A and B are shown apart, each in its own frame.
Chain A
């Protein structure tokens, strides 16, 4: 990258920089005219100069100039206006100039801002583009948070500076020079004093600022290191807690913050010191003028008029000088930041742009064998991982790489996947060096999965399809405002040197997954998920999440059928009492009182959980039904019982899991509340306290809590209140709740709740498991299995996939590698988190799935257990970085080598 910021800015914005200077110069004309105008107004119409006669008129807007050689030229005679008319005319001209100046300022600021933002966008894009092209080894040494902070924060000040980069020195330098010239014209020697002081400023101040630059650089480095450390703490939070090192981390962060504080404080001290000196020097000049000039005047060697003229001319010098020095400071500041970033991003062996160039068309299969030729690999410390290995893998072959602890088979897998580069020797596809092939070939025709999985913070589906998103395959057509927006996006992207590829295009390469489009892609997904034994997990996720009805309309449309099928099935198996269904006219004893009252799923915060009791409309319904007092008394009873039962227990006691009414932390609050309210009449209790107490009764389930608080009469009243609640539901609550309706799908509830449409009884210990397997059966029978799988695929896997287990992550990674249907499938201990039995099962499935439909990829699998070698055509054994055995499972077993030793 360009090391000099000034040159970088000039290369990319020279036209705009010249343009802005020209515009600023143009804006000077009305600016200076507006200076002159007040004088004209005061002297002319207000004081009456030129209007001495009562009906005198003066020409207005008379355009005439004295041109050299030609003499006076008159363009326009002007209008003849009297005194009052002239006042108004001139005042309006003043107003006009105010508007014009304002508009110029607006335009210039907008222009500068846009210029800066475009450059910022360009530099950020360039930085990320470089990150995408760094050689693999670089990433072993950098912290991701540091790179992120460089791209995001450290280049940020550049945006503000770029608009002023060339404009300010031109403008301010011009102003300062003019002022200086003016002083010189008044009196040469006094002018020389000003020149000397300015020279001192120019020499001294930047020298003093050198320290500021050093400090600025330190500040940047320490701040970057801090964000790196914070990132590490977040990523390694488990390790911190496991080893009780949180205080060590606190100490480390405090030490860093102390250092940053010290640097920043030094910086401030110096900055203000420099400022002080600068101001002092600026004020020194008038002091010298007064003293030396005055002395000369008294001696009679200088006339007073000249001195006054010099002093008043000097007024215009310090302003521009100060701003110029400030500009210089800003320049140095951003230059340091820029250099720092550029240094970090200047790396040896950056991947050429050609390798990652966009290729829309299918590059065709990799028919040639993949071979390692005299390949040596070393780790970052220089230790040999592989020592001059030669090996060839042909398409259609299945190869197990068996490795002793220091064998180096993983390094070979990484070299095949281009994840690490050879120290010597090479990996070739046919005759061509693998590293010279574009990623459009290797990234589509070679798949790789390892035990070290990375998942993006997105849905399971997005992560699974990630391996297919090589190029935008459709051109999206936009109409109306969207089309304008798209055009604007393209233009702006090009102006900032960004790519204008449309991220909203369909990037999924259906053909490589063996599908023809979105409609039959799901089949391919289902097959790979089945192969890695992940479908059941995803179905579980699907049951527990709420379905997006725009995508899964079939599930919603057939919900009645589903519910009926579940009832029939339960009845058939004599398990009807496991689930108590929701019925509009009945009380569901297995549900809470709150659920029975609301009889629907809260779709917003207004009626959810604790907010329900506090909702004014809901409270009014209870009051009408005569239930407010009942629930209050019930709540008091529950509070008393709960506190009696739990008050002695420590807050972390596991019994609190059984207490549905309140959390352990809330017990003391309820204790004092109970004390306060105990003997107070109901009417004297505040709304807030009532809601606190009433909400306890809403969590009550009679068969579970068994306090004996629910009578037949009360249940009847609750049903009546429920109906009343829905009859007069105010418009602002219409969308806050979805009423349970046996014939309707409830979008706010999970799929499981929708299918059950009831509550699982409390008095059957294994009911949930039995019900779940029945639900799966029914979904399969009704052909809704894939729909549910699709709901599960919407599940967001969290940062780095942490919401999945390690085993699920690894399975997903293998599924992703399979989905591409590659020519070479490289698997590097891909299932290490699973037990051997499951590994074997997945291995068998993967071998079968990869070769489905006559496809014959090469499969290279670094196995965790030598016994797995049995399932491959060929077994290659590594020990101490060398290839020691190579043959079929039988031949190696028959020999007396390392493989046999490893097996026993």
Chain B
């Protein structure tokens, strides 16, 4: 997959959809292309967050530790980003991500990501919008969950 295809992929990630292609290209160029085999771990719950990952191809499982061992809480498909919370808020990884099939990802380093946000306010606003959107969804889910009880 070439740089320009990666840019196309990034554009399809909601978080980056509003950012102009030239900046996305820079983001892609300065990120590492990493491949994982099925079963390999991208990062573990409790690790320090040093990068976010954009899935280019393949699938990954999101696992959370529980008393009865890890529970799969979500599945990540191409064109989605994972691990961005930990690099935005300086918290430890809240879940483990494991490749469920051969996986191609773009690894965006924390300092690069923050630097881009600082330099391109458009991107930051877009990001805030997406996060706020997610928060309102989560809140709605929470209300649903409470009222259902």
- Interface pair A707/B2, CB less than 8 Å apart: yes
* Inter-chain contacts of A261 with B (CB < 8 A): none
- Interface pair B30/A658, CB less than 8 Å apart: yes
A654-B111, A765-B34 as given contacts; A706 in contact with B25, CB under 8 Å: no
* Inter-chain contacts of A708 with B (CB < 8 A): 2-4
* Inter-chain contacts of A707 with B (CB < 8 A): 2-3
Contact with A along B15-42 (1 / 0, CB 8 A): 0000000100110111011110000000
Q: State the CA gap A655–B120 with chains docked (Å).
A: 14
Q: State the CA gap A762–B107 with chains docked (Å).
A: 12
- Interface pair A763/B115, CB less than 8 Å apart: no
- Interface pair B35/A655, CB less than 8 Å apart: no
Q: B residues 72-114 with Cβ under 8 Å of A?
A: 107, 111-112
In whole Å, how far is A93's beta carbon from the nearest beta carbon of chain B?
89
* Inter-chain contacts of B3 with A (CB < 8 A): 705-708
Contact with A along B103-141 (1 / 0, CB 8 A): 000010001100100000000000000000000000000
- Interface pair A655/B112, CB less than 8 Å apart: yes
Q: State the CA gap A764–B33 with chains docked (Å).
A: 8
- Interface pair A654/B112, CB less than 8 Å apart: yes
The answer to the question of A644 belonging to the interface, with a C-beta cut-off of 8 Å to chain B, is yes
Q: State the CA gap A771–B32 with chains docked (Å).
A: 19
State the majority secondary structure of interface residues on B. helix
- Interface pair B26/A655, CB less than 8 Å apart: yes
The answer to the question of A703 belonging to the interface, with a C-beta cut-off of 8 Å to chain B, is yes
Contact with A along B63-76 (1 / 0, CB 8 A): 00000000000000
- Interface pair B107/A706, CB less than 8 Å apart: no
The answer to the question of A645 belonging to the interface, with a C-beta cut-off of 8 Å to chain B, is yes
A655-B26, A762-B32, A764-B35 as given contacts; A706 in contact with B6, CB under 8 Å: yes
In whole Å, how far is A590's beta carbon from the nearest beta carbon of chain B?
12
- Interface pair B32/A644, CB less than 8 Å apart: no
- Interface pair A762/B33, CB less than 8 Å apart: yes
The answer to the question of B145 belonging to the interface, with a C-beta cut-off of 8 Å to chain A, is no
Q: State the CA gap A764–B107 with chains docked (Å).
A: 11
* Inter-chain contacts of A658 with B (CB < 8 A): 29-30
Of A645, A646, A704, A763, which one neighbours B35 at CB under 8 angstroms? A763
Q: A residues 833-858 with Cβ under 8 Å of B?
A: none
A644-B22, A645-B26, A655-B112 as given contacts; A763 in contact with B1, CB under 8 Å: no
* Inter-chain contacts of A704 with B (CB < 8 A): 33
Interface-centre pick from A653, A655, A703, A704 (highest chain B CB count, 10 A): A655
In whole Å, how far is B46's beta carbon from the nearest beta carbon of chain A?
17
In whole Å, how far is A416's beta carbon from the nearest beta carbon of chain B?
47
A654-B111, A706-B3 as given contacts; A763 in contact with B32, CB under 8 Å: yes
* Inter-chain contacts of A762 with B (CB < 8 A): 32-33
Closest B residue, CB atoms, query A767:
B34
Q: A residues 598-645 with Cβ under 8 Å of B?
A: 644-645
In whole Å, how far is A115's beta carbon from the nearest beta carbon of chain B?
67
Q: State the CA gap A707–B29 with chains docked (Å).
A: 9
* Inter-chain contacts of A655 with B (CB < 8 A): 26, 30, 112, 115
- Interface pair B34/A764, CB less than 8 Å apart: yes
Q: How many residues from B make CB contacts under 8 Å with A?
A: 19
A654-B115, A655-B115 as given contacts; A705 in contact with B29, CB under 8 Å: yes
Q: What is the number of contacts between chain A and chain B, taking CB atoms within 8 Å?
A: 44
Of B2, B29, B112, which one neighbours A645 at CB under 8 angstroms? B29
Closest A residue, CB atoms, query B51:
A765
- Interface pair A706/B30, CB less than 8 Å apart: no
A645-B26, A708-B2 as given contacts; A765 in contact with B32, CB under 8 Å: yes
In whole Å, how far is B115's beta carbon from the nearest beta carbon of chain A?
7
Closest B residue, CB atoms, query A656:
B30
- Interface pair B34/A763, CB less than 8 Å apart: yes
* Inter-chain contacts of A644 with B (CB < 8 A): 22, 25
Contact with B along A758-771 (1 / 0, CB 8 A): 00001111000000
A654-B111, A705-B3 as given contacts; A763 in contact with B26, CB under 8 Å: no
* Inter-chain contacts of B30 with A (CB < 8 A): 655, 658
* Inter-chain contacts of A763 with B (CB < 8 A): 32-35
* Inter-chain contacts of A703 with B (CB < 8 A): 33
* Inter-chain contacts of A645 with B (CB < 8 A): 22, 25-26, 29
Q: State the CA gap A705–B1 with chains docked (Å).
A: 11
* Inter-chain contacts of B26 with A (CB < 8 A): 645-646, 655
Interface-centre pick from B1, B2, B22, B29 (highest chain A CB count, 10 A): B29
* Inter-chain contacts of A764 with B (CB < 8 A): 34-35
Q: State the CA gap A654–B107 with chains docked (Å).
A: 16
* Inter-chain contacts of B32 with A (CB < 8 A): 762-763, 765
In whole Å, how far is A309's beta carbon from the nearest beta carbon of chain B?
96
- Interface pair B35/A706, CB less than 8 Å apart: no
Q: State the CA gap A762–B32 with chains docked (Å).
A: 8
Q: State the CA gap A83–B3 with chains docked (Å).
A: 102
Closest A residue, CB atoms, query B115:
A654
Q: State the CA gap A703–B111 with chains docked (Å).
A: 22
Closest A residue, CB atoms, query B25:
A645
Q: State the CA gap A706–B27 with chains docked (Å).
A: 13
Q: State the CA gap A858–B52 with chains docked (Å).
A: 57
* Inter-chain contacts of A765 with B (CB < 8 A): 32, 34, 107
* Inter-chain contacts of B112 with A (CB < 8 A): 654-655
Q: State the CA gap A763–B1 with chains docked (Å).
A: 13
* Inter-chain contacts of B1 with A (CB < 8 A): 706
In whole Å, how far is A642's beta carbon from the nearest beta carbon of chain B?
9
- Interface pair B33/A706, CB less than 8 Å apart: yes
- Interface pair B22/A706, CB less than 8 Å apart: no
* Inter-chain contacts of B25 with A (CB < 8 A): 644-645
Q: State the CA gap A653–B115 with chains docked (Å).
A: 9
Interface-centre pick from B4, B22, B34, B112 (highest chain A CB count, 10 A): B34
In whole Å, how far is B83's beta carbon from the nearest beta carbon of chain A?
13
Q: A residues 648-662 with Cβ under 8 Å of B?
A: 653-655, 658
Q: State the CA gap A756–B40 with chains docked (Å).
A: 24
* Inter-chain contacts of A705 with B (CB < 8 A): 3, 29
In whole Å, how far is A139's beta carbon from the nearest beta carbon of chain B?
46
In whole Å, how far is A589's beta carbon from the nearest beta carbon of chain B?
13
Q: State the CA gap A644–B21 with chains docked (Å).
A: 12
Q: State the CA gap A446–B6 with chains docked (Å).
A: 67
Closest A residue, CB atoms, query B104:
A763
Q: A residues 8-38 with Cβ under 8 Å of B?
A: none
In whole Å, how far is A655's beta carbon from the nearest beta carbon of chain B?
5
* Inter-chain contacts of A653 with B (CB < 8 A): 115
Closest A residue, CB atoms, query B29:
A645
Closest A residue, CB atoms, query B26:
A645
Q: State the CA gap A505–B26 with chains docked (Å).
A: 61
Q: List 6 A-B contacts (CB under 8 A).
A: A644-B25, A646-B26, A654-B115, A655-B26, A707-B2, A763-B32
Closest 9 CB pairs of A and B: A708-B2, A706-B3, A658-B30, A763-B35, A763-B34, A655-B30, A645-B26, A706-B2, A763-B33
Beyond known contacts A644-B25, A706-B2, A706-B3: 10 more, CB 8 A cutoff: A644-B22, A645-B29, A655-B115, A658-B30, A705-B3, A706-B28, A708-B3, A708-B4, A762-B32, A764-B34
* Chain B residues packing against A (C-beta within 8 Å): 1-4, 6, 22, 25-26, 28-30, 32-35, 107, 111-112, 115
